[in-house]
Structure 1
């Protein structure tokens, strides 16, 4: 798999190693963007734009990893649901419900997906989403 397929294609399957590499790249990039913005070395809107630009590659990696686990790509919408629950104003609910809806349920979704996609092996051999996952080639092929 090439870097372009890794970051921009929703087809195929992706192994755990390349999934974790993407998670590290995403975390470091977003952290760097907001550290720069927090120290007034980068405009906050530019940092946010950088994070928005990372949405496509992040979703492509997530969908391909879901495919490797033999799950349809629309399971990635669970991430959007979790973010919406975190961002919601649940103060109109009584008792422990604001904490449950706004913190506990999103936490369970995020941790569940992270454990499922990051720890468990993909389907052995071919599945309905294609052949077994190929490792990403991080160095371009050299021609002789």
Structure 2
């Protein structure tokens, strides 16, 4: 799965889908997309707004506009971020409820660091081969599909 296909899958086809499995490429390309979006918004916030954090700590009108856009983007991208992480955990044959545990435990000092490392390891590891209790392998060609079609 390529970059644009992963974005299309997460934002259009599986926006609110917590069932099924997500391949590593789908998860990490979507994560890269989120990182790039936040970097663009941060650059706009600090660059266009003229925010001088060292001296004045005053926000300009552009800071409020870009901040409002960032809030709307955050609300719009939050659900698919959780959904793709749940599907990624499903690919490792783990329940999606572990994602909730990750979010809760990551707010505990010291424990959060260890939970973040465990979450990173889970998302980096290869998914289970073949079908598991959450669905078919996202990397396997479907049975009966035309290979040379």
Aligned partner of 1:128 in structure 2 is 133
Residue 126 of structure 2 aligns to a residue whose secondary structure is coil
Stretches of 4+ aligned residues off by more than 6 angstroms? none
Residue 37 of structure 1 aligns to a residue whose secondary structure is helix
1:37 deviates by 2.0
Alpha-carbon deviations, 1:13-43, whole Å to 9, x = none? 1111111101101111122222212232543
Alpha-carbon deviations, 1:28-61, whole Å to 9, x = none? 1122222212232543132122112111110110
Aligned partner of 1:108 in structure 2 is 114
Alpha-carbon deviations, 1:66-124, whole Å to 9, x = none? 110001111111342145x2xxxxxxxxxxxxxxx42x221211121011112x11111
Structure 1 unaligned blocks of 5 or more: 86-100, 136-144
How far apart in 2 are the matches of 1:23 and 1:125? 25
- In our comparison, the structure showing a higher alpha carbon Rg is 2
TM-score (norm 2): 0.68
How far apart in 2 are the matches of 1:8 and 1:46? 21
Higher relative contact order, chain-length normalized (CA < 8 Å, sep 6+): 1
Residue 20 of structure 2 aligns to a residue whose secondary structure is coil
Q: How many pairs align? A: 117
